[in-house]
Amino acid sequence: MSIAIQIPGVKLGLIEASGVQVQLVHPGLAAEMDSVCDRIRRTHTIDQVALLDSVRGVRAMFRAWGVDPSRYRPSSEALLRRVVQGKGLYRISNVVDVCNLCSIETGWPFGLYDSAHLAPPIAMRLGQNGESYEGIGKQTWHLAGRPILVDSRGPFGCPISDSTRTMITEATRSLFSVIFAPASVSEANLQHALERYAQRLESFASARTARLSVIFS
């Protein structure tokens, strides 16, 4: 799968994987999450989160799209703030936890989707009036003016909060994931993040990576 980017200033890292084994707990992953969260919590204050280069880049990207990142906080920044406040990362499943761990390490929003519930072609654009979806852990998420991913069935993802339609469940066996990075990020750095992500998915969820790619507008 690929994505037709219809808004400027973004570089996307894409990963497709199969053979995924979703489980609620993976001891090795839990230990790694605790270590990374503890390091971030000890070395950053809540005020410093917004000053991180990666977070500043994502915030600038949102502003360029006409989206206020303080009102509609990028998912990566929201996770980092939670970690710095001592709340740690949510523990959802091994697959989702790997995604969130990689997101706080890079400072970039990640989207994670069950491939079986996607209907290509896929595009990234700003939401239109009347578009919405049921957000994970949220009520209806109104998408007008927001950066969204859309397939032939409608909107399903956003670097703020994803939809329930394409969410990872225990039945998921294949996944499609997107890293939303500012255009200023080098292709090499984004590729490195993809490779680290793929390695963790293989180690902690038995995923077989089919494809890694970087695309930009």
Domain tally for the chain? 1
Give residue 49's domain range: 3-216
pTM: 0.97
* CA 28 centroid distance within chain: 22
Distance, in Å, from the CA atom of 136 to the CA atom of 151, rounded to the nearest integer, reads 18
What CATH number does residue 134 fall under?
Answer: 3.50.40.10
Confidence of residue 217 (pLDDT cuts 50, 70, 90): confident
Residue-wise pLDDT for 158-212, tens only, equals 999 999 999 999 999 999 999 999 999 999 999 999 999 999 999 999 999 999 9
Phi, psi (rounded to 5 degrees) for 121: -75, 155
Q: 10 pairs with which residues across the strands?
A: 182
Rounded distance between C-alpha atoms, residue 60 and residue 164, angstroms:
28
